[in-house]
Structure 1
Amino acid sequence: MTVRERCSVRTTSTGELIVVSGASTGIGAATARELASRGYHVLAGVRRDADADAIRAKCIEPVMLDITIGEHIEALAARIADDPQERALRAVINNAGIEINAPIEVLPLDTWRQQFEVNLFGHIRVIQALLPALRKSRGRVVNISSVGAVATLPIYGAYPGSKAAFESASDALRREVAPQGIQVVIIQSGGVKTPMAAKSGPLSLKLSQGMSKEHTRLYGALISSTVSFQSSFLRRAMTADQAAKKITKIVTTKRPRTRYSLGTDAAFTLPMARFLPARLMDRVVPR
């Protein structure tokens, strides 16, 4: 019996389709499993065969999905359109992402482009391809952003910058497709224990080793202190499984808000960024 056939058995949901990109590890994998446990048929986007084997389970169908490759996105759209049980596409969770942090002066422009290609343009490609299916089902787009899009730490320019652009695009999209019955939700995530987050600090330190003596003098201490703070915080952050339960609730609630925070740091920082003057935030955030 195939995964598709097994998922025809209804549990707490109607067995509808939900796409989760970046489902190899972390929040994406945990969310795929949580949604599958509730009876949704999850099309879990992965980039490697090994990741497909790891995530494959009842109601989880791995699909090859590098969101920077047009052929992968076209194949995903065709898979949804040709679903053998003609199930509706209930939601698309745009979760895939990469994070590479360094001071703006020293982070190579190609690395900036790489992050925007994945964290912004890749998701736009997915949304463009799947809007017809979402229009038919009156479904939902759920875009995973970051608290950094609103309150950005020093040396964290490129990743939050891509997320801020993604949020602006999401606001425009929400206003464009609301008359069509499609909902658009932004989740502003704070610290979550994931492989991507765990690699972020060591990667920044590795990049700093290639800096010139002058850049080391200017930014070395700042990089070390920021990475140390982030690493310390992540030890107390929520787990991917905890995040997945909250995301699943947001995905399945009948009348979602336009924005949600995820994590205690996001719940604290977002209102602070909204109400404090920018100059005061400039003093508070680096501390």
Structure 2
Amino acid sequence: MSRPPKDARKDQRKNPRKPDELVVVSGASSGIGAATAQALAARGYHVLAGVRTDSEADAVRADRIEPVTLDITVPEHIEALARRIADDPERRVLRVLVNNAGIEINAPVEVLPLALWREQFEVNLFGHIAVIQALLPFLRRSRGRIVNISSVGGVAALPVFGAYAGTKFALEAASDSLRREVSAHGVQVVVVQPGGVRTEMAARSGDVSLELAAAMSAEHQRLYSGLIDATVASNSAFLERALPAAKAGAKIARVATTPRPRARYTLGTDAAFIIPLARFLPARLMDALLAMSHRSRNPKSAPTPAPESAGSPS
């Protein structure tokens, strides 16, 4: 495998190798997950890196990075991971679980098929809960930490992102409950809220949205095509200057290992800006700001006036 990114090598210089402890990172085949695995390995941890295919395993395997087959929607994979930790030949403890796996399929609420809503919740929420339930006993023994990778979408639901944001809102709520449930057991729960990060998933999401839009009915095309085009254009433009995955992974590794973590961390300047706006601005004002932003990207995204009925006033 290629050398770790510069940020990971910097972490290695600042943090000389400690006695090995185990860390689990789901969704570690690329992007934020792969960068986080590399940064944690550079800090001296033995990383069990969740991947789904043999080719992904070959790509991530490296010194102190051990790929494990982990589709978090498959119970047998989670059971095998728990056995791997319990039977660790060096009797290393599980120090950190980083729940990073995720998918992103964006379309208007009215248009996105229910099967795709359910698929996103299975991966982005229920899969993480299943992993947490299986690994919490190990983390109690080590007084370890859970790091849940949420999103700016877990606080601000942008148009067309309803299903994805819904999974992240739910993950945020589950994380709050879990933190309050297990703090007395010595387990810490931390949420990381990335904004735009340059990853393969983020780059693909626009194409997926446009494919779904092309299959819409003529009426849905009339209602939503401008909004979808504006959203994809906005996201594509933003990703050109978004945070590199290596920097995101390095920060997550620091969050995972800092002695006294906060409950939440933002990741990227856009998240640091948008999340406070979403929390403190009146909802209607936030709506208006987002609508203005989309219209500036694509004038077709302006709402289509409803046809007048015979009894409507002149």
Q: Does 1:218 align with 2:223?
A: yes
Distance 1:281 1:74 in 2: 44
| Deviation for aligned residue 1:14 | 2.4
Q: Does 1:134 align with 2:139?
A: yes
Pairing 1:237–2:245 present: no
* Structure 2 residue 206 is matched with structure 1 residue 207: no
Q: Does the residue aligned with 2:147 lie in a helix, a strand or coil?
A: strand
Q: Which residue of 1 aligns with 2:76?
A: 71
Distance 2:85 2:290 in 1: 43
Q: Which residue of 1 aligns with 2:301?
A: none
User: Following superposition of structure 1 onto structure 2, how do residues 39-188 of structure 1 map, counting pairs within 5 Å?
Assistant: 39-188=44-193
Q: Number of residues paired by the alignment?
A: 278
Letter in structure 2 aligned against 1:177: V
Normalised by the size of structure 1, how large is the TM-score?
Answer: 0.96
Q: Could you tell me how far 1:12 is from its partner in structure 2?
A: 2.3
Q: Quick one: which amino acid aligns to residue 130 of structure 1?
A: L
Structure 2 residue 274 is matched with structure 1 residue 264? no
Following TM superposition, by how much is the alpha carbon of 1:11 offset from its aligned partner in structure 2, in angstroms?
4.6
Matched, 1:12 2:17: yes
Instruction: Please state how far the C-alpha of 1:285 moved relative to its aligned partner.
Output: 2.6
> Is residue 145–residue 163 contact of structure 1 (8 Å, CA) maintained in 2?
yes
**How many Å separate the matches in 1 of 2:135 and 2:114?**
30
Residue 288 of structure 2: SS of its match in structure 1? helix
Q: Does the 8 Å CA contact 1:18/1:40 hold for their aligned counterparts? A: yes
| Distance (Å, rounded) in 2 between the aligned partners of 1:13 and 1:250 | 17
SS at match of 2:224: helix
Pick aligned residue for 1:254 from 259, 262, 266: 259
Q: CA RMSD in A?
A: 0.9
Q: Deviations over 1:40-72 (max 9, x none)?
A: 000000000000001001000000000000000
Offset of residue 106 of structure 1: 0.6
- Equivalence for 2:12: none
Deviant stretches of 4+, over 6 Å: none
Mapped partners of 1:274, 1:120: distance in 2: 22
- For the residues of structure 2 that align with 1:137 and 1:236, how far apart are their CA atoms? 39
- Normalising by structure 2, what TM-score? 0.87
Q: Distance in 1 between matches of 2:267 and 2:62?
A: 27
Unmatched runs of 5 consecutive residues or more in structure 1: 1-9
Identity %: 67
User: Does the 8 Å CA contact 1:152/1:285 hold for their aligned counterparts?
Assistant: no
Contact 1:151 1:285 in 2 (8 A): no
> Does 1:227 pair with 2:232?
yes
